[in-house]
Structure 1
Amino acid sequence: MSRRQVRESALQSLFQMNVGQVPANEAIGHVLEETNQEIDKEYLEKMVTGTHNNQSRIDSIIEKYSVGWKIDRMPTVDLTILRMAVYELLYEPGTPEKAIINEAIELAKAFSTAESGKFVNGILGKLVQDLDQLRGSVQE
């Protein structure tokens, strides 16, 4: 079971929550029912609930680094991927930053448009330059 599979399942769960107004436990349950792969359920729940519970703070950070883009104008899949990546970058400091960013780019390419990978990379690339400062601000 890879982190990539967990991230993909988290993306699907968060998308269901956002678009379908489905509660977290129900969205996670749907995703786990549909997968035939072994998933680290504990990490999946942590990613989904952590991203969801910190969404307003994460959104304000995304908006700061997405010059020319407002949150409500971003494609839902791209925004969901960005939220997950920002959550991991801020709240899971043990996970390599490059791995988080690369996975976010790959998810964007796989589940969104051809340009989404560049869009996600651009925002996360700017954000990671201030990562220590951002991590300090979320722990206050």
Structure 2
Amino acid sequence: MPKGERLESRARARALQALYAWDVRGAEGLELVATRVWDDLAVGPEERRLAGFIVREMIQHGEEIDRELGDVTTNWRLERLGAIERTVLRLAAAELRRGETPPKVVIQEAVRLAERYGSEQSARFVNGVVDALARRLGRL
């Protein structure tokens, strides 16, 4: 993690790491995978708490989140996307659903994560999808 990065941004990156590991491993439960990843990385309690909000939203509403994302990625089936793009989209959708972070911040952070862990092309794609989802959910 970049030094001096805000706690919330670090927590989003931790949630991304957990969601990504869960996505590529497949069979294991998300809560178990998140705990294992965060233990391996010695993630502190405050980062875990904030990242946990996103992870729990995905645990409780994952099917609905994937359905909502599928509705706005009309030309792309979610399972055909790269794991990073799919994971960033799920993270952003979960955070939008919680409704505690301004939608523009959710979009900015999702784009930043897509740039950092994916590519410039990933970032543009994520920007368009998360913006469309926020509008569809009535958040923008």
Q: 2:87 aligns with which of 80, 86, 90?
A: 80
Using the TM superposition, give the Cα deviation of residue 57 of structure 1 relative to its aligned residue in structure 2, in angstroms.
0.5
Using the alignment, how far apart are the partners of 1:59 and 1:108 within structure 2?
18
Q: Which residue of 2 aligns with 1:58?
A: 65
Structure 2 unaligned spans of 5+:
1-5
Using the TM superposition, give the Cα deviation of residue 107 of structure 1 relative to its aligned residue in structure 2, in angstroms.
0.2
Q: 1:131 aligns with which of 129, 133, 137?
A: 137
CA deviation map 1:65-118 (0-9, x unaligned): 112111111111111110110111112x12111111100000000001220000
User: CA distance change for structure 1 residues 26 and 125 in 2, over 3 Å: closer, same or farther?
Assistant: closer
Q: Which residue of 2 aligns with 1:31?
A: 38
Q: Which residue of 2 aligns with 1:136?
A: none
User: CA distance change for structure 1 residues 61 and 29 in 2, over 3 Å: closer, same or farther?
Assistant: same
Using the alignment, how far apart are the partners of 2:130 and 2:43 within structure 1?
31
Using the alignment, how far apart are the partners of 1:30 and 1:127 within structure 2?
28
Q: 1:112 aligns with which of 102, 115, 118?
A: 118
| Count, aligned residues | 132
Partner SS, residue 132 of structure 1: coil
Using the alignment, how far apart are the partners of 2:136 and 2:33 within structure 1?
35
> 2:66–2:78: 8 Å Cα contact kept in structure 1?
yes
Is 40-49 or 8-17 further displaced after alignment?
40-49
Partner SS, residue 120 of structure 2: coil
Question: Structure 2 length as normaliser, TM-score?
Answer: 0.83
Is 6-15 or 120-129 further displaced after alignment?
120-129
Is 80-89 or 46-55 further displaced after alignment?
46-55
Using the alignment, how far apart are the partners of 1:11 and 1:28 within structure 2?
13
> 2:38–2:48: 8 Å Cα contact kept in structure 1?
no
Question: Structure 1 length as normaliser, TM-score?
Answer: 0.83
The share of aligned pairs that are identical, in percent, is 25
Partner SS, residue 67 of structure 1: coil
